[in-house]
Amino acid sequence: MGLVDSLFGKDARKFLKRKDSDAAEAGRALEELRSSLYNELKTSEGAKRQQQRFCGPVVAMSFNFIVAVGIILANKLVMGRVGFNFPIFLTLIHYAVAWILLAFFKSLSLLPMSPPSKTTPFSSLFSLGAVMAFASGLANTSLKHNSVGFYQMAKIAVTPTIVLAEFVLFKKTISSTKVVALAIVSLGVAIATVTDLEFNLFGALVAVAWIIPSAINKILWSNLQQQANWTALALMWKTTPFTVFFLLALMPWLDPPGVLLFKWDLGNSSAILVSALLGFLLQWSGALALGATSATSHVVLGQFKTCVILLGGYVIFGSDPGFISICGAVAALAGMSVYTWLNLPGKSIDHSSSKLLPNQNTAVSKPKAENDDGGGETAVVSAEPNLSKTTTANIV
């Protein structure tokens, strides 16, 4: 200090002390913030508040949209150039990697706390894990045995199935205006994407069988988060082992033989690993979107993605899907805009009564103030068709 005093005087010493004091205060503030977030994650209510604070509807759905586009490109690489034609096993890898990452988060005490077991029956978690596996497995099998157009028609049918299922299970109703908007969206997507309807009996049966698990999967993900204080990561941690188990059971029935003969070199393995990491992000973002909005809104988001990809290819890359397809995509986007506007605060005129999930024992925190119609598609791993004749399995 003597050297500092002699060279710069007492003012310099005061300045240095003030800088040290500011740095110490900033450090204490960061430590307090870290401790606060850490303590919040130790209760399911606190973790839920943090998820609602940082991942509102716009953030969650934007996150899901961006990752969904990325997984389409990654899985086209894996299923096309790499030649990994085992969609169920790829889905299994995605969920296995997701579970490993969640276990790593848990070891670092970064995984949010789950609600008390008495608030959510084990049967609900088991059912969700099983439904996720069947929804993804049947989706990939449907895409394998059906044309893209027939698959897309089955996917469009998920929207009315969700509306009907929520009315039967929870007595939720939606306004006639929203029904019209959803009808326009479905019709527009059908006109834009359904260019071929090749039919075979087995493929049609699989497609029809996939619709109900897909709808129930979305409803369960949304309702468990909104009405039972589950966060996306906590629910993923509890249900992923069941999904892996059922995918293992489905793989011999739905995947072709020869997976052990695949060339597992560094390049191929790296591409599959990137696809799996994106699959984890998609599962997480899909769960966040379902927790922040509803099952119906998440389906509309998927249809929005389909239309954007079609129109983006036309505008950016000069592809020519045809005038009728472009008109259908524009009509679908218009219907989505109306549906979104109707869900803005103060616009909804729905008269729905929120109910807890079947067999749920205790009343829990109030759902988020989301004026929507319903309750992995979360992060369900399913197949997203290319808008051409090429079929590739993707997580949606």
Q: What is the DSSP letter of 41?
A: T
- Note whether 91 and 213 are within 8 A (CB): no
Check pLDDT > 60 for residue 141.
yes
- CA quadruple 51, 55, 61, 67: dihedral sign: negative
Span of 70-74, 313-317, 323-327 with lowest mean pLDDT: 313-317
pLDDT band at 21 (very low <50, low <70, confident <90, very high): low
More confident site: 298 or 389: 298
Model pLDDT for residues 301-313, shown as the tens digit of each residue: 888 877 877 777 7
Q: Residue 286: which of 232, 234, 237 has the closest Cα?
A: 232
Q: pTM of the predicted model, to two decimals?
A: 0.71
Distant-in-sequence contacts of 77-83, Cβ < 8 A, 24+ apart: 77/271, 77/275, 78/271, 78/272, 78/275, 79/392, 79/393, 80/390, 80/392, 81/271, 82/267, 82/268, 82/271, 82/272
- pLDDT value, residue 281: 93
pLDDT band at 12 (very low <50, low <70, confident <90, very high): low
365, with CB counted inside 10 A (0-12, 13-18, 19+), is middle
What's the average model confidence in pLDDT over 331-354?
Answer: 68
- pLDDT value, residue 392: 39
Distances (CA, A) of 325 to 137, 143, 169, 353, 355: 29, 21, 36, 38, 40
- pLDDT value, residue 389: 38
**Distance from C-alpha of 129 to C-alpha of 236, rounded to nearest angstrom:** 9
